[in-house]
Chain A
Amino acid sequence: GALVYQYPRRTICKSGTSMRMECQAVGFQATSVAWYRQSPQKTFELIALSTVNSAIKYEQNFTQEKFPISHPNLSFSSMTVLNAYLEDRGLYLCGARDPGKDTQYFGPGTRLLVL
């Protein structure tokens, strides 16, 4: 079946440092990958959408300079949180879309804690 893995599951970083997280789709070819953030007491907020062979589209309030994304093939994507501060803490979800089933599958998330 279709699965999405994320690594690491939990991480702690010092304020001002950077953290890279990975997303792996298994069992299907993900034509697009979406990165979401759930801040404390909030819902999932889209950071950016990445489609293979197309430019990555960032949502308002999120930039490539802060959240650079790599999407080199149909099964893998990574995102880095640069210069992380307290407001960047939360659960970062990766959603990979299987076009054959027109469904977005989510990973379990990477929980980021910033000290």
Chain B
Amino acid sequence: GDSVTQTEGLVTLTEGLPVMLNCTYQTIYSNPFLFWYVHYLNESPRLLLKSSTDNKRTEHQGFHATLHKSSSSFHLQKSSAQLSDSALYYCALSDRTGNTRKLIFGLGTTLQVQP
């Protein structure tokens, strides 16, 4: 079945260092959408990035990711971590077709940025 695998558990970084959170997927969809959601405690999960076409980079709020169908990946990156980036990050997968857009989530990666 469809699944999403993320960097597991906790990633701890020092402020200013680059961020990379891995996301790979398995799917029967021939044309999948990949998403990154950021979830701060007691808030709503918020869409951070949505994939574009194959091998095209998408960017938002300093974060970027590129969908690579050849490797089934959509890794989240940022050149310089900020303290405010500390949160839980979910990678999710859906089909591009249809109107329902069922999301399949990974287990989530907690990013902790330290001074």
Tell me if B's interface is mostly helix, strand, loop or mixed: loop
Q: Tell me which of A34, A45, A103, A106 contacts B45 (CB under 8 A).
A: A106
We find that the number of chain A residues with CB closer than 8 angstroms to chain B is 25
Question: What residues on B are CB-neighbors of A90 within 8 Å?
Answer: none
Q: Contacts A44-B90, A49-B100, A99-B99 given: A4-B44 contact, CB under 8 Å?
A: yes
B98 CB to closest chain A CB, in angstroms? 10
Closest chain B residue to A99, Cβ basis: B99
Q: Tell me which of A34, A105, A106, A107 contacts B102 (CB under 8 A).
A: A34
A43 CA / B106 CA spacing, docked (Å): 6
Q: Which positions in A face B, CB cutoff 8 Å? A: 4, 31-32, 34, 36, 42-46, 49, 51, 57, 93, 95, 97, 99, 102-109
Q: Which positions in B face A, CB cutoff 8 Å? A: 37, 42-47, 50, 90, 99-108
Other 18 A-B pairs with CB < 8 A, given A31-B99, A34-B101, A108-B43:
A36-B103, A43-B90, A43-B108, A44-B90, A46-B103, A46-B104, A49-B100, A51-B99, A93-B45, A97-B100, A103-B50, A104-B47, A106-B37, A106-B44, A106-B45, A106-B46, A107-B44, A109-B44
